[in-house]
Amino acid sequence: MSNLEPDAAFFNEFHALLVMTGKDYCKPRPKCEGCPLNPLPHRTDIEYGD
């Protein structure tokens, strides 16, 4: 992270995209098929309430 320019707009957009992806693919039930984050290491053992 120390190699990155301090660009608040960039990080705000990046954060918003991660949140949107989580809402679209992870909750309320995981839809891993087609998820753009699937190639990255992440946890899939978390259960969310309906």
Query: Model confidence over 7-42: pLDDT tens digits?
Result: 889 999 999 999 999 999 988 788 888 999 888 887
* pTM of model > 0.75: no
Q: How many CB atoms lie within 10 A of CB 37?
A: 13
Contact call for residues 16 and 31 (beta carbons, < 8 A): no
Q: How far apart are CA 26 and CA 22, in angstroms?
A: 5
- pLDDT score at 6: 84
Confidence bin at 48 (pLDDT 50/70/90): low
**C-alpha Rg value of the chain to the nearest Å:** 13
